[in-house]
Amino acid sequence: MNIVLLGAPGSGKGTQAQPLSVRYKTPHISTGDIFREEMDQMTPLGMKVQEYVNSGRLVPDALVLEVMTQRLNQPDCEKGFLLDGFPRTVAQAEALDDYLRSAKRPLDKVLYLSLSEKEVIRRLSSRRQCVRCGKVYNLMTQPPQIADHCDVDSAGLFQRDDDRPETIEKRLRVFNDLTEPLIAYYHGLDMLETIPADKPVSEVAQIVIKILDTFPRT
Ligand code: AP5
């Protein structure tokens, strides 16, 4: 199945995508994760995107599309994909449509995780991540068992640079201006399914699974 997870920063796209990827044996492709890995390894791409990512601005469409075309051409995507954080502008959505049309692999659904700005700010300011395995925690809703240490490998936790209050505000503005129009875009294509993301993780997952289970598995 070919699925897009759409939603404001912190709406839970990554949290939902990880177990869904296991359940449906479909790669979870997060543009944010791709960029952060490149930044950690200080590759030429990482150096190019660093300033955008850390300041909460969008990486230019041309660069994102180059990265995503390469990624979607990998063999693991032949049976489907779960896109998280892409597309993020109407231009990216149109380019994705063109690519999928030429590859004869239409999108099945766009799941929009809907969450209030107040809750986005609350979740992002309390998000922490393991320095080693990348597991995501939330100090308020999903804290680690031992403070500041990952449950999986006991490594320390860090806060993403773009989860600082002033950058969260910027990311929300960027979402409202550039990404929110995608809701109307996909609604117009009759592809949008709105998910109330203000519920506990397991309840959101149940709603999503009920929708995705209606698609044939590959
Ligand atoms: P990216 O990494 O994609 O950031 P984002 O879209 O802002 O999303 P997040 O990763 O912040 O949040 P999420 O929705 O995955 O929430 P999570 O599950 O972690 O992008 C980063 C940057 O890269 C962008 O700003 C941009 O610069 C660049 N970029 C990426 N893609 C791009 C593109 N296509 N074009 C241009 N630039 C691009 O959850 C958040 C917190 O809430 C966690 O602590 C979690 O534990 C908790 N939580 C999750 N669900 C629940 C729940 N149901 N109840 C309670 N707590 C919950």
Cα–Cα distance between 100 and 103 in angstroms, integer? 5
In single-letter form, the type of residue at position 120 comes to V
Atom of ligand 1 nearest to the CA of 5: 14
Q: Is 28 in the pocket of ligand 1 (CB under 6 A)?
A: no
Q: Which domains does the chain have, with CATH numbers?
A: 2-115+175-212 (3.40.50.300)
> Could you tell me what percentage of the chain is helix, strand and coil, using 3-state DSSP and rounding each to the nearest 5?
50, 15, 35
Atom of ligand 1 nearest to the CA of 16: 18
The confidence score (pLDDT) of residue 216 equals 78
| Predicted local confidence at residue 217, as pLDDT | 73
Which of the 8 DSSP states describes residue 143?
Answer: -
Cα–Cα distances in angstroms (integers) from residue 73 to residues 30, 77, 78, 85, in the given order: 15, 7, 8, 18
Q: What is the DSSP letter of 25?
A: T
- Residue 137 DSSP SS3: strand
Supply the pLDDT for residue 218. Answer: 64
The Å distance, Cα 184 to ligand 1 centre, comes to: 21
Nearest atom of ligand 1 to the alpha carbon of 201: 53
Which residues partner with 4 through β-bridges?
Answer: 83, 110
Does 185 contact ligand 1 (Cβ within 6 A)?
no
Q: Is 195 exposed, middle or buried (0-12, 13-18, 19+ CB in 10 A)?
A: buried
35 touches ligand 1 (CB under 6 Å): yes
What pLDDT was estimated at residue 209?
A: 97
What CA–CA distance (Å, rounded) separates 202 from 205?
Answer: 5
Residues tagged active-site = 13, 88, 127, 160, 171
Ligand 1 in contact with 144 (CB < 6 A)? no
What's the number of CA atoms in the CB half-sphere (13 Å) around residue 33? 18
- Find the Cα–Cα–Cα–Cα dihedral 146, 149, 155, 159, rounded to 10°: 170
CA–CA distance, 56 with 50 (Å, rounded to integer): 10
Per-residue pLDDT of the chain (218 residues; tens, 9 = 90+): 999 999 999 999 999 999 999 999 999 999 999 999 999 999 999 999 999 999 999 999 999 999 999 999 999 999 899 999 999 999 999 999 999 999 999 999 999 999 999 999 999 999 999 999 999 999 999 999 999 999 999 999 999 999 999 999 999 999 999 999 999 999 999 999 999 999 999 999 999 999 999 987 76
CA distance 94 to 185: 10
